[in-house]
Structure 1
Amino acid sequence: MADSGISGTLGTSTGLGEATLNALRRSVGTRARRFLLAVTLLLGLLAATGLAMAGPPDDRTFATLSDAVQSLMSIIVPAFGILLARDLKRASGITRLTPTLLAATLLAAVVGLFGFLVCVAALTVSTSSAQDPWRHVGTIAVGSVLVQIGAQLVGTGLGLLMRRPAIAFIASIVLPLGLWFLLGAVDVLRPAQSLTPYSSVRHLLSGQMNALNWVQWFAVLLIWGVGLNALGGARLRQRSHDGHPAPALGERSPSLGQ
């Protein structure tokens, strides 16, 4: 499907706020992208409903619900960042990365907030025999948003670094999980698992965050969020400097959820 609903508003003439709003509109600017968002939110809703209705009553806690809901949605969330990154690479002239990253972060935060509200509703209407089903709800609420933002930034980074959106999307799943498994398979490398997104997600969604866990999460953000996007931004600037021609935003290409 072509990006016929996306206008060429990636230039540098607009202010940061307006450029961010333009990027946010582009993130759901086509029917395919809106459908992708609907699927993402529906997955979270179904996960919360299913666990609240069919899960063991003694395991119906806010942490359990959030783990399933936010983890499922975070699988698809990077796709939006990847597609926004593709928009940048296909734009003509000099483009700014900051508005795209801000828009991607805002969209991810909305998804995380939606998941949080769904979990609150599901646990409220269900019966739980757990000792303290609402334990760590405040920390998990913050963690839910941070999980989706982290996933989104991995998507924008890989989207900038890889030519094909579909490959970047697969990499956004395989690379973090694969690295986590590989590091865990070698005893001497196992402590490095804490520097993978999967490890930080487990801590954030359990709500059991201590000072060390927050430091580890910040390190993960620097490596997987800031690091990947810094490399991608450098590549984008190099493309603009070299004057490589970019295809029009409406050009058809075989890629993920255009």
Structure 2
Amino acid sequence: MRNETIAGTLRRATGTRGRRALLLVTVGAGALAATALAAGLPPAERTAAAFGEPVHAFVSVPLPFVGVLLADDLRRTPGARVLPTLAGATVVAVAAGLVGDATIVAALAASGSTAPDPWAHVGGIAVAGVLVQVLAQLVGTGLGLLIARPAWACLATIALPLGAYALLTPWVAARDRLTPYGALRGVLDVTPDWPRWVGAALLWGVALNVVGVVVRRRRAGGRPINVGRW
């Protein structure tokens, strides 16, 4: 794994029965949300926007566990390159986002919607859904690099982002721009606020993984970071 590639990361993401089951759970979470919405929403309220946030929110809960496991592989392999793993994890996230989008389209098409324009904003929601899953996955890789026990890291992917969202509630603007859930709600709205995703991505996607890489190198013996070996 020292000469890791993106293709190798993708093989690791599906390399065990447990990891394949986790990917199925991720897809199933979105399908479960879509089914519940189709059954529970009045026909006049069944729109792409109504399906978008819940479906992608459900997908984004188990997806970071994949990132945690891929990062844990790195932690246990001193000297392995980081960048191919992060790129491969991002590819998995893009695929999960696209599956979530397909779930929304299929559920809405089969829902018997009577809304005036049920497909309004579907393109923006599709793009936003992919970005939401990329950020969720990078939270997983960052915490997987930082926390030595994968089980605790997986729990942290839920507890820390939601905890930050709750703690920042008195400061709504900061909460919405600096937390993954705030970013999700911002970009999956009918009038998406893209800067909210950018702010959260810089903090929880970029900065968290940089800190994780630094900690990993120090645990491996204090060797300096060599960007070319990422």
TM above 0.5, yes or no, is: yes
Given residue 215 of structure 2, which amino acid in structure 1 is its aligned partner? R
2:188 to 205, 211, 216: 205
Alignment of structure 1 residues 131-142 onto 2, 5 Å: 131-142=116-127
Q: Which residue in 1 is equivalent to 2:35?
A: 49
1:104 and 2:83 are equivalent in the alignment:
no
1:72 and 2:54 are equivalent in the alignment:
no
Which residues of structure 2 form unaligned runs of 5+? Answer: 224-230
- Which digits, 9 at most, give the CA deviation of each residue in 1:101-138, with x for residues without a partner? 00100001101100101111111122112232111111
Q: Which residue in 2 is equivalent to 1:144?
A: 129
The Cα of 1:50 is off from its aligned counterpart by 2.7
Structure with bigger RCO (C-alpha 8 Å, 6+ apart) = 1
TM-score normalised by structure 1 residue count: 0.82
- Which digits, 9 at most, give the CA deviation of each residue in 1:41-96, with x for residues without a partner? 112112212322342112211111121111111000000000001000112x4111
Q: Is the 8 A contact 1:59 1:128 kept in 2?
A: yes
1:116 and 2:101 are equivalent in the alignment:
yes
TM-score normalised by structure 2 residue count: 0.91
Distance 1:45 1:217 in 2: 24
Which residues of structure 1 form unaligned runs of 5+? Answer: 1-9, 244-258
Distance 2:149 2:218 in 1: 18
Q: Which residue in 1 is equivalent to 2:80?
A: 95
Q: Which residue in 1 is equivalent to 2:70?
A: 84
Q: Is the 8 A contact 1:143 1:207 kept in 2?
A: no
Distance 2:123 2:99 in 1: 15
- Which digits, 9 at most, give the CA deviation of each residue in 1:130-170, with x for residues without a partner? 23211111110000101111000000001101111111111
2:149 to 161, 164, 168: 164
1:11 and 2:2 are equivalent in the alignment:
yes
Distance 1:46 1:216 in 2: 27
Deviates more, 1:116-125 or 1:77-86: 116-125
1:240 and 2:225 are equivalent in the alignment:
no
Q: Which residue in 1 is equivalent to 2:174?
A: 192
Distance 1:116 1:179 in 2: 27
Distance 1:155 1:140 in 2: 23
Distance 1:72 1:63 in 2: 15
Distance 2:167 2:45 in 1: 30
What root-mean-square deviation, in Å, do the aligned CA atoms of Structure 1 and Structure 2 show? 1.5
- Which structure would you say has the larger Rg? 1
1:226 to 197, 206, 221: 206
Given residue 197 of structure 1, which amino acid in structure 2 is its aligned partner? P
